Chains A and B, each alone.
Chain A
């Protein structure tokens, strides 16, 4: 049939032949590809600019809102997370709740893989302060688990960075929560 059609109808030849052999013989459109490549390069260049600008804006915002001499940042990390499946955390600074967070599955996984969440950033005057973290989750034997940790620290004239560490304590198969100050 194809041969017959080919002999009789050249226009049909092209159409049928393409249909017959498309997966094998289809040609790429080089014009389209070069246009696409140009746009891709342009988009990549724009992405670089966007990252740089976002970086500048991020630093600018921090400088405006949280100057280095008063800035306090609190991070949270989870080490392995075998004995505690993190669910929520609440943070108090000088008896005032300043942050609370409910974790999604994805966030918990990110923490268990070594990520650190910046839970809070704020300003504090120089001097002594107290910070308390309340951690909730599912502990050993799938039971609801709550633990708190507290730290008194002295805020100096530089940026203060604290870390809430949720760790597995293999000695008693329990999770442990502690707060440490970064130098």
Chain B
């Protein structure tokens, strides 16, 4: 409770993503490790491509894929910093906090992030904790920020840092942090918008503590400061809005103490075309009535009665108008005014009952107008949906943090549901892919079988075996002839031919020299064979060993091919992964569905509570109007009766 005008901190910090990336990209000169001009890792480059388009989910997925496939190389801690920023932008504040705490080790040791980057990251982490209502953790992290570095790097952030610390110091002011609070407040220039917000919130805190005098003083100072520092670099509209808000709050404080003149003076300074002008006009009527200047009060209320736009706070106007008429001593005008007010309240109560009975997500959404572009519903800088009420009766609840949060969660859940439905539709194609893959595999198997048959591997195996046995027998018998070379075999064939020829010729002198030559040749040949036996045997054995190895390799390959053909572990693995993912997706779908029901119920409950409160308020006015009607009717009746008696 307390911070009611804390404009920068009302939603999820989508803004941080840009800021975080900005700080990451913009400080190469100070970085310990020079910033890479281009991505050194394709997956990281891809994640950045999605990130810079605002596709947080796709970018987070790519980072997760990269992590699963071995991580990102060459970028130090920057991918983790980007991931944290993405998580913040996608509403994963708790996870982002965990990541930052892990990443930004207090002393920065081992981190590849520059002191400036770490400094700003501490700032954002502190801010996240502040948003999450964790003042201790927020204080702790904001205290790690080096103010001088931050002031040099980004003065706007520095001012915001002072503001946050001052807010946190005020929260713990009861524990003796007044001195720190004063020091912090002194660091902001007078007229700085952050200083003005601090002043306003100080007033709110004083009111919370029941210290109306301090609140009044703070608000008066604030009004005076804004008036004196009109020319500021800050947005005029923002300052004007804050000024009007402060004046209205101050006027209501004064009205509460029946200080009507002072209240009128404050209200009189408010513009007629401001955001709060109608509420100021009503307060003006209250103050004027308090002063006894009923005509002026009535004028103001008549103006408000003419407004066509429905706003819940304006429901008090019909009653107030009738009330002022009564105070003006005009019961004849006041009576129908009260009657009109009562009828109005009765009708409105009936309408609200109808709305509550018919309240559903569809009827609620029909009352909201979402701004969209080609990529879907637009969000503001804080991740809120850009939505306007079709029925301005919802404006009040729409402006609440809880409703905005619930609406945003509902939207996120619908997006998740849509993602799940889209992914579920892919499983059919996954199975088709797997089937196709299996069919192609079967085709390849039959081709392989044919190729194996063509190889006649069994025949070759038999030949190999026969050859082994022959070699073995020749070895055991020292069969030199078996191991002869091709050349020797050819020579032996020639010698055998000569021997055969000589056998057919007469053994006389005509062939004696030939026979002698043959004997010499045969003797030389036998000697040669005997001499080469060891070499030839070794060569054969080496050939046999080579052949054995090749045959073993062939056999092993055949066995491997056979095993691959018999069982496809890859196929089984893919099939298993598809089945597992499908189950997980179905379970997730159920969880999302349940969460959707809860979110929907929370949203509807909020609206119903608001409608119920409006109804109760209207019932109060209805009862008061009816009482006034009865009272005035009685008064007029008595007056007419006494007039009649007088006439008689």
A interface residues, Cβ below 8 angstroms from B: 1-5, 9, 11-12, 14-16, 18-29, 32-33, 35-36, 38-44, 46-61, 63-65, 73, 75, 77, 79, 106-107, 109-111, 113-118, 161, 163, 182
Inter-chain CA distance A167–B72, complex, in Å, is 24
Which residues of chain B are within 8 angstroms of A49 by Cβ–Cβ distance?
588, 591
Closest Cβ of chain A to B203, distance in Å, is: 8
Q: Are A54 and B419 in contact (CB under 8 A)?
A: yes
Interface stretch, picked from B53-61, B484-492, B535-543, is: B53-61
Given contacts A64-B437, A110-B48, A115-B49, whether A23 and B1 have CB atoms under 8 Å apart is no
B316 at the interface (CB under 8 A from A): yes
Pick the most buried of B1, B401, B402: most chain A CB atoms within 10 A of its CB. B402
Asked if B46 is at the interface of the complex by the 8 Å CB criterion, the answer is: yes
The proximity string for B residues 18-53 relative to A, scoring 1 for CB distances below 8 Å and 0 otherwise, is: 000000010000000000011100100110111111
For A79, list chain B residues within 8 Å (CB).
37-38
Name 25 A/B residue pairs within 8 A (Cβ), A-sorted.
A1-B297, A2-B255, A2-B256, A3-B290, A11-B620, A11-B624, A19-B316, A24-B253, A25-B207, A27-B1, A32-B602, A35-B602, A43-B413, A53-B584, A53-B588, A54-B57, A55-B68, A58-B61, A61-B426, A64-B430, A65-B433, A106-B54, A110-B48, A115-B48, A116-B46
B61 and A51 contacting across the interface, CB-CB below 8 Å? yes
* A50 near B38: Cβ-Cβ < 8 Å: no
Contact with A along B305-338 (1 / 0, CB 8 A): 0000000010010011001100100000000000
Q: From A3, A19, A61, A163, name the one whose CB has the most chain B CB atoms within 10 angstroms.
A: A19
A51 to B434, CA, bound (A): 24
A22 CB to closest chain B CB, in angstroms?
Answer: 7
Q: What's the Cα separation between A63 and B256 when bound, in Å?
A: 72
Decide if B290 touches A58 in the complex (CB within 8 Å): no
**CB neighbours of A12 from chain B (8 A):** 319, 620-621, 624
Closest-by-CB residue of A relative to B47 is A115
Q: Does B391 sit within 8 A of A, measured CB to CB?
A: no
Interface majority SS (helix, strand, loop, mixed), chain B = helix
Residues of A within 8 A of B54 (CB): 106
Chief secondary structure at chain A's binding surface: helix
Q: Is the CB of A22 within 8 A of B313?
A: yes
Q: How far is the CB of B631 from chain A (nearest CB, A)?
A: 10
Q: Are B595 and A42 in contact (CB under 8 A)?
A: yes
Least Cβ distance of B83 to chain A in Å? 10
Are A43 and B283 touching (Cβ within 8 A)? no
Q: A28-B1, A64-B434, A77-B39 are in contact. Are A44 and B91 (CB under 8 A)?
A: yes
- Which residues from 420 to 439 on chain B have a C-beta closer than 8 Å to any C-beta of chain A? 420, 423, 426, 430, 433-434, 437
**Contact: B52 with A115, CB < 8 Å?**
yes
- Chain B contact-residue range equals 35 or more
Give CA–CA (A36, B409) in the complex, Å. 9
Q: Are B581 and A56 in contact (CB under 8 A)?
A: yes
Distance from A176 Cβ to chain B, minimum over Cβ atoms (Å):
14
Contact B207 A46 (CB under 8 A): no
Given contacts A32-B602, A40-B405, contact A61 B430 (CB under 8 A): yes
B452 within 8 A of A: no
Chain A residues lying within 8 Å of B602, measured Cβ to Cβ, are: 32, 35-36, 39
In the bound assembly, the distance between CA atoms of A51 and B62 in angstroms comes to 9
Could you tell me the distance between the alpha carbons of A61 and B316 in the complex, rounded to whole angstroms?
62
Least distance between B455 CB and chain A CB atoms (Å): 23
Shortest CB-to-CB span from B205 to chain A, Å, is 11
- Check if B412 sits within 8 Å of A47, measured CB to CB: yes
Cβ–Cβ < 8 Å partners of A47 in chain B: 90-92, 412, 416
B180 to chain A, nearest CB (A): 26
Please judge, given known A-B contacts A57-B581, A115-B46, whether A24 and B249 are in contact too, CB under 8 Å. yes
Contact in complex: A60, B578 (CB < 8 Å) = yes
Asked whether any CB of chain A lies closer than 8 Å to the CB of B258, the reply is yes
Question: Which of the residues B245, B283, B319, B434 comes within 8 Å of A20, measured between beta carbons?
Answer: B283
Q: Which residue of A lies closest to B61 (CB)?
A: A54
Contact residue among B65, B409, B437 (Cβ-Cβ distance under 8 Å from A55): B65
Q: Given contacts A44-B91, A75-B45, A115-B49, is CB(A59)–CB(B65) below 8 Å?
A: yes
Kindly state the separation between the CA atoms of A12 and B420 in the bound complex, as whole angstroms. 51
Partner of A9, one of B4, B68, B426, B620: B620
Min distance, Cβ B92 to any Cβ of chain A, angstroms: 5
B599 interface residue, CB < 8 Å from A?
yes
Least CB distance from B406 to A in Å reads 6
